[in-house]
């Protein structure tokens, strides 16, 4: 990649017919997965849903060309992702699979500790938006996700939609309605319609 490539506008900056995968690496996340898939289905056609027993199955599914991967998994304190069989892989493998498959948004929607995220999810060099959930804050997550998807499906970029719902001013009352998440806009200009 040359310096000019960094400044080129991506041809895929506006995605029409966004393809969604709501994936889980453990059945314990089934209720959250159903609720979040329901949010996506209000704004995007037929999100695919799957519970995978092994991380390798998930990586294979990611390779099928999704624009959004909404993932439920356990992240260890050293930054590895664990499947139902207890097998672990570095989270960087999931990031790499998403980048290679041109995923525009990877959202880890299950609650995990920040230390594991910091150690395992290093978004630098991966052209994708990344959201890492620390605390869903019960029903606030669903409302926030629904409002975010409403704005994004109408053509707003994710950073613009996110800041309108959760301003970066800590005392803003709207922040009380937002889940606790880490958001890295590695592909901030993309529109997911």
What's the full length of the chain, in residues? 193
pLDDT at 175: 56
- All domains of the chain, ordered by start, with CATH? 14-188 (3.40.50.1460)
State the residue for tokens 């009352």.
Answer: 173
Q: What is the DSSP letter of 2?
A: -
Phi, psi (5° rounding) for residue 185? -90, 80
The whole-number pLDDT of residue 125 equals 75
CA distance 102 to 105: 9
Residue 172 is predicted with a pLDDT of 56
Q: Give residues with Cβ within 8 angstroms of 139, minimum separation 6.
A: none
Residue 64 CA to residue 25 CA, distance in Å, equals 17
Residue 11: predicted pLDDT = 45
Which stretches of the chain are DSSP H helices?
3-7, 30-43, 55-62, 91-100, 114-120, 139-153, 158-165
Q: What is the pLDDT of residue 37?
A: 97
pLDDT of residue 110: 97
How far apart, in whole angstroms, are the C-alpha atoms of residue 80 and residue 60?
18
Predicted pLDDT of residue 170: 62
pLDDT tens sequence for the chain (193 residues): 444 444 444 444 899 999 999 999 999 999 999 999 999 999 999 899 999 999 999 999 999 999 999 999 999 999 999 998 889 999 999 999 999 999 999 999 999 999 999 999 987 777 899 999 999 998 899 999 999 999 999 999 999 999 999 887 766 555 567 899 999 999 999 999 9
Tell me what pLDDT residue 13 has: 85
Q: What is the DSSP string of 99-142?
A: HHTT-SEEEE-S---HHHHHHH---TT--SEEEEEEE-TTHHHH
Q: Per-residue b/e over 81-97, b at no fewer than 16 CB within 10 Å?
A: bbbbeeebbbbbbbbeb
* Confidence (pTM): 0.90
Q: 6 burial class (0-12, 13-18, 19+ CB within 10 angstroms)?
A: exposed
């Amino acid at each position: 990649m040359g310096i000019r490539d960094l400044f080129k506008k991506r041809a895929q900056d506006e995605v029409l017919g966004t393809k969604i995968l709501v994936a889980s690496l453990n059945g314990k996340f089934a209720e959250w997965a159903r609720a979040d898939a329901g949010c996506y289905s209000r704004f995007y056609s037929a999100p695919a849903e799957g519970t995978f027993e092994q991380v390798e199955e998930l990586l294979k599914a990611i390779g099928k060309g999704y624009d959004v991967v909404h993932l439920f998994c356990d992240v260890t304190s050293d930054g590895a992702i664990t499947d139902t069989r207890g097998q672990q892989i570095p989270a960087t493998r999931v990031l790499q699979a998403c980048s290679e498959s041109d995923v525009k948004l990877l959202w880890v929607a299950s609650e995990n500790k920040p230390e594991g995220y910091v150690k395992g999810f290093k978004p630098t060099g991966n052209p994708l938006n990344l959201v890492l959930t620390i605390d869903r804050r019960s029903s606030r997550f669903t409302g926030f996700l629904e409002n975010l998807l409403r704005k994004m499906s109408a053509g707003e970029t994710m950073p613009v939609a996110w800041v309108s719902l959760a301003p970066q001013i800590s005392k803003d009352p709207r922040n009380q309605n937002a889940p606790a998440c880490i958001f890295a806009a590695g592909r901030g200009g993309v529109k997911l319609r």
